[in-house]
Amino acid sequence: MSRNIIFYLMILLVFSACNNQFDRAPGTLYEEIPDALRGNYFSVNKSKKDTFKFEINDRYIIGKNEGKNEDTLDIHKDFEFSSFDKYLFFSVIDDDKIFQISKVKMKKNYFEMSSIFAENPNDNKNLSEYFAYKQIPQIGGDTLTIYQMDENALLKYFKKHVKKKNTIKVYKEK
């Protein structure tokens, strides 16, 4: 299956410089996508001057390209929706079962997705101040850091470190 939807969301959320890799999704997992999120959406990528359209139903996020279904993501396989406290989270699952976490904030005709984003090496230090972690050596000498999910620490981290520039708006079609 092509991963264009995840790739696009990652670009929008600036995951290209992300060190947001957790061992699990936060909070309580939803069996289905919440009703409030279901519908047809679009997001504008201003840097590329294009619009990305997709549909969210009870189990799937379906990318749309010129009215055709392009890619389909399946809940529990490719992503999770979960909640903790009063917050909703969207977590992309990679092939190694590592989760990249975004907070979802519902508004009247759109929702906002905020991502943990590492602009510079000091941001990694910030994450390690909030979360326990393990480092896994990779081929080529790199090290993969996987943070252990702690929901209370996650909320504190979002409040202190995640800024507006790490947030995108996703609009519901009328």
Q: What is the pLDDT of residues 73-131, one digit of tens each?
A: 899 998 999 999 999 999 989 888 999 898 999 888 888 888 876 555 556 668 888 99
Max mean pLDDT range (13-17, 18-22, 54-58)? 54-58
Residue from 29, 82, 98 nearest 90 by CA: 82
How much is the pTM? 0.83
Residue from 146, 103, 107, 141 nearest 128 by CA: 146
At residue 120, the pLDDT reads 56
At residue 143, the pLDDT reads 84
In contact, 8 and 71? CB cutoff 8 Å? no
For the chain, the domains span 4-172
Q: Which residue has the higher pLDDT, 49 or 136?
A: 136
Q: What is the pLDDT of residues 75-86, one digit of tens each?
A: 999 899 999 999
